Amino acid sequence: MSMVTSAMDHVIRAELWSSQLKEILLDDLDAMRWVDFLTEFPDGTTFTIPSVGQATTQDVLEDVALTYESLDTGEFQFIIDKYKGSAHYITRQALQDSFYAQRILGSFVEKERRAIMEVLETDILKTPGPNASQSSTAQTAASTNAINGMDHRFIGTGTNEVIALADFAKAKLSLKKANVPMSQLVAIVDPTVAYEIETSANFVNFSSSNARWDSIVETGLTSGMRFIKNIYGFDVYESNYLDDANENIGTPTTAAGKQNLFFSAERSVLPIIGAWRQLPQVDSEFNKDFQREEYITTARYGTKLYRPENMVCVLTDTDQV
C-alpha cells in the first residue's frame, strides 16, 4: 500500500496551530518617575499640605519701629479619586479542553497589572491639563495660563500648528520666569512631534551650528523612549499616552491636537503629586457556581498638578504628518 498524500486525508491535520501565543506589542511606561508619590497617607481619601508664603522686606529708618508682618499661609488638597480594576476568568471546561489554557491563565495577573498601569500613565500625563479629574490647580482650556507674564499653555508655532524650534526656547523662558530650576529639564512629546523634529529642515539645519546635534542626523533621535540628544536643555521623551487638546488659544486652533509637556524633573520641584491608597493587588478564587477560575486586580490612587509654575503645555496638531 502506498501512503501518498491523497490517501492520508484522515490522518493529516487540516489546520496546524503554533505552540507560540502572539503577544500584543506594548509601549514603555515612564511617567511614574516624574511624579512625587507621597508616603505619609495613613487613612482617609483627602491629603492636605500646608504652604507658607515668602518673607517681605521694608526700609529701615532711624528710630522708627519696623512693621511686624505675618507670613501668608494656605493649603493644598488632593484626593484619592481613582479606583481601577481588571477582571478575567477561564472556565474549568476550557482549562480541560484548550491546549493554551494554562498559558492564558498564567498571563492574567501580568496583563491585568499592565492594564491598570496604562490607565495610570494616561492619568498622570493628563494631570496638567483641563481634562484632569482634579482640576483646581490644573491649566484652563483656551487660555495662556500666564505666570509672571509668560504663557504656560500655547499652541505650537510651526506651520499648521506643529512644533517649532522656538517653542522649546519659549517653554524654557516660561519656566525660567517662574523661577523654576533650569536643571533636569524634560519634554514629553507625541510621536508626531518626534517625527517633526527628525524631519523638519529647521531642526536638521540647526545641527550644522552645534556639534552636539551631529549624531541626531546620523543615528536618529530615539533609543527606546529617550532621545539621544536634547533640545535647548530639554531631554525629549516620546509617549503615546499624552492627552488630547483640541482648543483655541488666540488665533491658532489645534484641530486634532496633543498636549506636550515641558517641565523640570528636579526632585524638589516635581510638578505632579500623587499617592497610592492601594497598589495593584490581585485576588483570585474558584467560582463553584460557574465552575471557573476568576482573577481580579484592583488599585486606588490619585494625582494632581502641584506646581503649575513648573509645567508648560505646548499643543500641537497630529494630522499634519
CATH number at residue 138: 3.90.1690
The reported pTM is 0.84
Residue 298 lies in a domain: yes
Residue 9 lies in a domain: no
- Band of residue 192 on the pLDDT scale cut at 50, 70, 90: very high
pLDDT of residue 198: 84
Domain that holds residue 158: 26-37+79-321
Interval 30-84: pLDDT, tens: 899 899 998 777 788 888 888 666 777 889 998 888 888 876 667 788 899 999 9
pLDDT of residue 3: 42
Residue 20 lies in a domain: no
pLDDT at 218 over 70: no
- Band of residue 170 on the pLDDT scale cut at 50, 70, 90: very high
All three cell numbers of 70, joined, read 505675618
Q: Which of 118, 114, 111, 127 is nearest to 34 (CA)?
A: 127
Q: Kindly state the percentage of the chain with pLDDT values over 70.
A: 79
Q: Which of 93, 269, 290 is nearest to 182 (CA)?
A: 269
CA distances from 28 to 40, 60, 118, 191 (A): 28, 58, 10, 13
Residue 31 lies in a domain: yes
User: Taking residues 188-213, what's their average pLDDT?
Assistant: 72
CA distances from 132 to 13, 123, 169, 302 (A): 54, 7, 26, 11
Asked if residue 235 lies in contact with residue 201, where contact means CB atoms within 8 angstroms, the answer is no
User: Taking residues 2-7, what's their average pLDDT?
Assistant: 44
Q: Which residue has the higher pLDDT, 11 or 126?
A: 126
Residue 54 has φ and ψ, to the nearest 5°, of -85, 155
Residue 301 lies in a domain: yes
Q: Rounded distance, CA 132 to CA 281, Å?
A: 25
Least confident of 13-17, 26-30, 243-247, 302-306: 13-17
Interval 97-147: pLDDT, tens: 888 889 889 999 999 999 999 999 999 999 999 999 998 889 999 999 999
Residue 73 lies in a domain: no
pLDDT of residue 211: 40
Q: Which residue has the higher pLDDT, 152 or 17?
A: 152
Q: Rounded distance, CA 195 to CA 202, Å?
A: 13
pLDDT of residue 11: 44
Residue 14 lies in a domain: no
Residue 303 lies in a domain: yes
Q: How many domains does the chain have?
A: 1
Residue 15: is it exposed, middle or buried by C-beta count within 10 angstroms (0-12/13-18/19+)?
exposed
The rounded mean pLDDT for the chain is 83
